[in-house]
């Protein structure tokens, strides 16, 4: 019966951009979404992923994504896998800070590629996502929006500037946020993440970040984890939101060879 999977999640600035504007490197203005964040203007590459059929959220939004070429958006596999047979029901909206408005630009999705090996397991009743990445091909190229570069290094110094963005809920109890928010957070070491999640955490395809002070939450899934101005991760899963000892888990993008 559920038209949408139980955990349609989300994935998910003071968007401005200095040199970044010309290089595809995202440099937010100092700011502090999302749990523990602040309101943000959408950076040009940020997509709200949704479908008009999802009437419980304005704009039909249920996930985030990032434009990485003129006609490709990277998002979480768990956001779109269920629509593989009906990709044109999906769309990507750019430039809309508040989902209850009609501004910005909405582009229909033509096809959905889901990473082979995407699968779900469980940790304390939460869905654990593996190989949680998908590529959406848009029905037309988006012009005048600079894509975000994907991080290929896979290595990050502790303390590297890290941001999360999304239209998701601002706490586990909030059901209704519709405004884009952003937070500056810190990466969490693989060792600490393995302490939290045991074998549910796989360092080969996951990277952890955030704390009680800043985390993604429901409807932020698929949205960006930006490290050093590059798309490094995608909001994927966690135990609750912003709970002590349970950081957010993001799809680690560097290992994947995406069809871009
Ligand atoms: N899969 C989650 C969702 O349903 C993404 C949220 C991630 N949670 C977190 N605390 N970082 O939207």
Per-residue pLDDT tens digits for 128-171: 999 999 999 999 999 999 999 999 998 888 889 999 999 999 99
The verdict on the CB of residue 221 being under 6 Å from ligand 1 is yes
CA–centroid distance, residue 166 to ligand 1 (Å): 11
Atom of ligand 1 nearest to the CA of 215: 11
The pLDDT score that the predictor gives to residue 15 is 26
Domain 162-252 falls under CATH 3.50.50.60: no
The pLDDT score that the predictor gives to residue 73 is 98
Which residue among the candidates 132, 205, 215, 220 is catalytic per the annotation? 132
The pLDDT score that the predictor gives to residue 27 is 63
Catalytic, 156? Answer: no
* Residue with CA at minimum distance from ligand 1 atom 10: 241
Domain ranges in the chain are 9-29+43-138, 162-252
DSSP string over the chain: --SS-TT---B------STHHHHT---PPS----BS-EE-PPPTTEEEEE-TT-TTSGGGEEEEEEEEETTEEEE-HHHHGGGTT-GGG-EEEES-SBTTS--SEEEEEEEEEE-TT-EEEEETTEEEEES--EEEEESSPPPS-PPPPBP-S----TT--EEEEESS-SSTT-----B-EEEEE-EE-HHHHHHHHGGG--TTTEEEE-BTTBB--TT-BT-EEEETTEEEEEEEE-SSSSBTTB-EEEEE-TT-----
Catalytic, 131? Answer: no
Across the range 216-231, mean pLDDT stands at: 97
Share above pLDDT 90 across residues of the chain, in percent, rounded to a whole number: 84
The verdict on the CB of residue 10 being under 6 Å from ligand 1 is yes
- Please check the confidence at residue 2 and state whether its pLDDT lies above 80: no
Which residue among the candidates 13, 91, 221, 236 is catalytic per the annotation? 221
The pLDDT score that the predictor gives to residue 239 is 98
The pLDDT score that the predictor gives to residue 159 is 86
Which of 2, 4, 11 to mutate to test ligand 1, by most ligand atoms within 8 A of the CB atom? Answer: 11
The pLDDT score that the predictor gives to residue 259 is 98
CA–centroid distance, residue 147 to ligand 1 (Å): 24
- Please check the confidence at residue 11 and state whether its pLDDT lies above 50: no
pLDDT digits (tens, 9 = 90+) for 68-116: 999 999 999 999 999 999 999 999 999 999 999 999 999 999 999 999 9
CA–centroid distance, residue 172 to ligand 1 (Å): 10
pLDDT digits (tens, 9 = 90+) for 237-246: 999 999 999 9
Considering the entire predicted model, what is its pTM? 0.89
> Identical fold at 9-29+43-138 and 162-252?
yes
- Mean pLDDT, the chain, whole residue set: 90
The pLDDT score that the predictor gives to residue 154 is 85
- Fold type of domain 9-29+43-138: Thrombin, subunit H (2.40.10)
């Amino acid at each position: 019966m559920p038209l949408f999977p139980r955990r349609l999640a989300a994935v998910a600035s003071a968007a401005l951009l200095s040199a970044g504007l010309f290089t595809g490197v995202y440099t937010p203005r100092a700011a502090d979404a999302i749990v523990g964040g602040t309101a943000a203007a959408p950076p040009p590459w940020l997509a709200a992923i949704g479908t008009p059929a999802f009437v419980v959220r304005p704009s039909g939004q249920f996930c985030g994504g990032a434009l990485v070429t003129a006609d490709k958006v990277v998002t979480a596999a768990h956001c779109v896998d269920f629509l593989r047979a009906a990709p044109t029901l999906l769309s990507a909206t750019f430039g809309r800070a508040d989902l209850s408005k009609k501004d910005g630009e909405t582009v229909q999705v033509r096809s959905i590629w889901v990473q082979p090996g995407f699968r779900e397991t469980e940790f304390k009743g939460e869905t654990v996502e593996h190989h949680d990445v998908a590529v959406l091909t848009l029905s037309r190229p988006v012009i005048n929006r600079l894509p975000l570069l994907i991080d290929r290094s896979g290595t990050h110094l502790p303390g590297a500037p890290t941001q999360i963005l999304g239209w998701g809920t601002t706490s586990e109890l909030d059901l209704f946020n519709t405004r884009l928010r952003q937070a500056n957070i810190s990466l969490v070491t693989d060792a600490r993440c393995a302490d939290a999640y045991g074998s549910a955490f796989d360092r080969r395809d996951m990277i952890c970040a955030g704390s009680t002070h800043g985390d993604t939450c429901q409807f932020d899934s698929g949205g960006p984890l930006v490290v050093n101005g590059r798309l490094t991760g995608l909001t994927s899963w966690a135990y609750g939101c912003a709970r002590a000892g349970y950081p957010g888990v993001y799809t680690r993008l560097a290992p994947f060879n995406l069809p871009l």
